Structure formats: C-alpha cells, structure tokens
Structure 1
Amino acid sequence: MLTEKVHIAVPTAFFEDESLNIQGTISHIRDLYKQGVKSVLVSGSTGEQHSLSLQEKIEIINGLELEEELISNMEIIFGVASIRQKQAEELADKIRHTKISGIMLGYPPYVIPTQEEALVYTKTIINLSNKPTILYNNPKRTGFDLSEKSIIQLSKLDLVVGIKDAGNKGKVERIKKELHNNNLYFYAGGEVDLEERVSHGYNRLSSIAGNVSPTEISEWFEKIHMKQKVSTQESEKVANIMEQVYQGNAIVNLKQIINRKGIPIGICRSPIGNI
C-alpha cells in the first residue's frame, strides 16, 4: 500500500551533453528527504520518461538501490511505461526484485491501443512488478484515454491503489459511483486548478511545484483536501510558487531553480529547453 497523500514527481538530471546524471537525480531526492519529503516519483510525470531508454531507467534503479537510507525510509514510486510492452515488462520485472515501493503505470504514447489491448498491457505489467500500482491516464500527452469501464475493471485488482488524472468531473463522479474498491485514490497531476479537482473528488497529489517548495505545497494541499480555510498569506505564497514554476515551461523552470540551489540537476533534453 502507498500511504502518502503527496508525492513529488522529480525531474531527471542530465549533463550538458544530455547524457544521464544519476547522482544529480539522487542529490535532488536526498535534498527533498532532508526537507521532510516522504515520497517521490522517479522517471514519471515530468515529461522526461519517454526520453529515457530502458537501460537508462535500469541504471537509475540500480543507483537508487545503493541509497539504503532513501530507499528504506521513503516511498519511492517508479514510472513504468513504454511504446513497446516488452520493454515495460522488462522494467517491471526488474522493479519486482527491489525495495521500490510502487509503480506509476503509464500508457504508450502515439500508438493508441484499444481498451482491450490496454487492459492486457496493464495486467501483464502489474503481475510482473508485483507492486502497488497507480494507473496514469494522460490523453493530452499520449493520445490514449483509459475508459471508465476499464478503470472500474482494473480497480478490482488488489495491487491497483490509485489513478492519476482519471478525467473530468463527470468521469470521476461516474467512476466513483461504480467502484468496487472504495479505497481507490484519485491523484491530481500537478497543482494547476487543484482546488477545483479536489472538489471533484481528487484526494491525493502528484506534485510538480513541491520540487521547490515541498512543505508549503503539502500543507496547502492538506488544507484544501480537509476543507480548511487557507489564509490570504498562504494563498499569496502558493501563488508566488506557482508563478515561478508554471509561467512558461514547468520542467525548465524547475531545473533552473534547483540548479541555483547548487544541486546538479542540469538541463533538459532538447527540444525542451532549447530556446
């Protein structure tokens, strides 16, 4: 089970030649851990997952496994997705034999599988990883939209604990009415329109802005979720954080802010950040 209400979707570090910088990635996770962050998503929703080769993802996992304090004391969730199911299967099997806490299972971009094909893909990878799983539905980026029927069917699997970006208000409400698993968590991807999404039934957060202000973002989300009053001062602070992160390209902004702290998160892989 994944117990943390908020996890931080961390960017992947790259050197100036765009090659993978595993220690830079781990340095950022270690800094978040020192700030009290209890859960991170690696190789996930910062838009870099599909730029990573299978071998690079395995190298990141190997690096994480050497960080005994982090992997023993944090919920580390690893993003699993590939345009080829065989590669996703190999990654899932690798994760099965690690202390990684769970996976976020994304769908292949561009190829647009049928719902039936997506169900086979999902069940195969979950069985291989044998880890608590958050389904990641992101039609804007992948072109594929996991249907209400498919989500409800997959929610019956013991290892499926949540879904990220299930859909609009109507879709979420209809799914909740039909759910057999009342413990299925609904994760909001990022902080944009967060209050509205919480009002529609989202009850967990896959945070982007938490990379730079984890305490402020977590406390803000908790108040929204618990329907507590957010003070004017807190609202202004969060608005400032949001402007820093989301004005322009969020991943480029994050890396600039993290680099300024002296943590070598590096650059993005072009065309992102090539201006």
Structure 2
Amino acid sequence: MLTENVHIAVPTAFSEDESLHIQGTIDHIRSLYEQGVKSVLVSGTTGEQHSLNLQEKMELINGLEQEEELMDNMEIIFGVSSIRQKEAEELAERIRPTKLAGIMLGYPPYVRPTQEEALIYSEKIIQLSNKPAILYNNPNRTGFDLSAESIIQISKIDLVVGIKDAGSKEKVEHIKSDTHRNDLHFYAGGEEELEEKVLHGYDRLSSIAGNISPAKISQWFEKMLKQQKVTTQESEEIEAIMGQVYQGNAIVNVKKILNQQGIPMGICRSPIGNV
C-alpha cells in the first residue's frame, strides 16, 4: 500500500530539441530523495503525461529500474493513462514486475468515455498492473468527469487506495458515506485552494510546489491535517513559494527554478513554454 501523505509530482525533463531527457528527470528525483522526500509521482501529472508516447514511458521506466537505491527506498508512483486503452494496458503490464510502488490511473483526454466504459478501462488496467492505484479525475484537462457512483464502484477493488481531485465537497461526502472504506484517501492535486480542500476531507497531497521546497510544503500540509496553527513566518514563506510556482504557468516556472539550481530539467514541449 501507499503510506506517504505527500508525494511530489515531478516534471519530466526534455532536451532543447524536446526529446526525452531521462537522466535529468532522475537527477531531480535523486535531489528530492537527498532532501528527505519519500514519495514521487513520475509521468503522472503536470500536464506532460500525454505528450509522452508509449515508448518514451517505457524508456523512463527502464531508467528508473537502474536506480536501485531510489527504487528500494522511495515510493515511486508511475502515471498510467492513454487515449488508447491498449497502450495503457501494455504500460500496466510493463509496470507489474517492477519495484514501482503504485500507479496513478488517469483517464483518456478528448474521447470522453461513458462511465461504464471508464469502469471497464479502470478495472482492466488495475488488474494488469497489480499495483496500488490512485484514480486521477481531471475533467478540466480531459473533458471526462469520473462520477461519484463510478468511484464508489471502482473502490471496491482492494488495490484502489485513493482518488486525486475527486470533485466538489458534496461529491467527496457522497463517496465517503457510500464506500464504507476508512482506508480510501483523497489527494489534492497541487497546493491551490489546499486549505479549503482539507476542510472538505482531502487528506493527501500530490504536490507541485514541493518540487522546489519539499520540506516547507510537507510541513505546511501536515500542520493542516493536524489542525495546528501556522506561524506568520511560515505563512509568508508559503506565500512566497506559491508566488514563484503559480504566478503564470506552474510547470514552466518549476523547470526554470530547477534549471537555475543546476538540475537539468530543460524545457517544456511546445506550445507550453512558448511565451
């Protein structure tokens, strides 16, 4: 099972010609590990997942498997999603024998499957990966909204450990009351409106700002969960971090900061980063 309350959703590194830079991605994960980070999400968020083709995702897994220290000592979650179910299944089968800790199961963009089709998609991929799974509901990006009823149905699978960006307060309450599972976690996608989400029942964080300041973001989130008072100094530090990350395009900002720190994250794939 996945035990960490916070994982860092790491960007994917690309060279100047937009080709995949596996070592840059791994260098960043190692840097986070050396800062005490225990869990990361790779190829699962930051809007880059669907720019990676199946071969690139396979190569990224191959690169991670060479990093025994990271694989043995971190919860490394890998994003599984594709506009074609067959490709998502192939990726899930590749993940199954690895030491990857779990999957973030996303839904196909643009094609907008029915709820019934999404259930079949989910069940098949979870079965093939045989890994703990976080369902990733992101209607703003995909055009598809996994319903509360579908989440309740899929959560009957023991391997399903959580849902990222479940939706409104009412939807979260509906899921919590009808799943009868105390071990189903609700992940907030990023730090924006995080305090409100915690009040609505979110208890885990898929962090973007943690890429540049993992300790401060984790401490801030843990204080929220425990309903502890955040000091004025801590609030000011978080506000500064949020300004660095979320003023403009978050992924562009994160890569710029990491590059300045000497971590070779490179560029984004256009049109992201055009400005």
In which range does the TM-score fall when normalised by the shorter chain?
A: over 0.9
Aligned equivalents of 1:179, 1:57: Cα separation in 2: 33
- RMSD over aligned Cα atoms: 0.4
Amino acid at match of 1:235: S
Aligned equivalents of 2:274, 2:238: Cα separation in 1: 28
Q: Alpha-carbon deviations, 1:82-122, whole Å to 9, x = none?
A: 00000000000000010000000000000000000000000
Equivalent residue of 2:229, what SS?
A: coil
User: Partner of 2:162 in structure 1?
Assistant: 162
User: Partner of 1:83 in structure 2?
Assistant: 83
User: Partner of 1:231 in structure 2?
Assistant: 231
User: Partner of 2:94 in structure 1?
Assistant: 94
Aligned equivalents of 1:177, 1:34: Cα separation in 2: 40
Report if the CA contact (8 A) 1:152-1:178 is conserved.
yes
1:181 offset after TM fit, Å? 1.7
**Structural mapping, 1:43-122, within 5 Å:** 43-122=43-122
Q: Alpha-carbon deviations, 1:186-237, whole Å to 9, x = none?
A: 0000000000000000000000000000000000000001100001110000
Q: Alpha-carbon deviations, 1:116-152, whole Å to 9, x = none?
A: 0000000000000000000000000000000010001
Equivalent residue of 1:153, what SS?
A: helix
Q: Alpha-carbon deviations, 1:155-182, whole Å to 9, x = none?
A: 1101000000000111111111111222
**Structural mapping, 1:1-275, within 5 Å:** 1-275=1-275
Aligned equivalents of 1:149, 1:73: Cα separation in 2: 36
In structure 1, the gaps of 5 or more residues are none
Aligned equivalents of 2:26, 2:146: Cα separation in 1: 32
Aligned equivalents of 1:101, 1:207: Cα separation in 2: 17
Q: Paired residues, what number? A: 275
TM-score (ref. length: structure 2): 1.00
Equivalent residue of 2:162, what SS?
A: strand
Amino acid at match of 1:40: V
In structure 2, the gaps of 5 or more residues are none
Q: Where in structure 1 do 4 or more consecutive aligned residues deviate above 6 Å?
A: none
TM-score (ref. length: structure 1): 1.00
Aligned equivalents of 1:175, 1:90: Cα separation in 2: 30
Aligned equivalents of 1:11, 1:211: Cα separation in 2: 8
Equivalent residue of 2:58, what SS?
A: helix
Equivalent residue of 2:8, what SS?
A: strand
Report if the CA contact (8 A) 1:188-1:205 is conserved.
yes
Aligned equivalents of 2:45, 2:20: Cα separation in 1: 17
Amino acid at match of 2:24: G
Aligned equivalents of 2:163, 2:83: Cα separation in 1: 20
Equivalent residue of 1:163, what SS?
A: strand
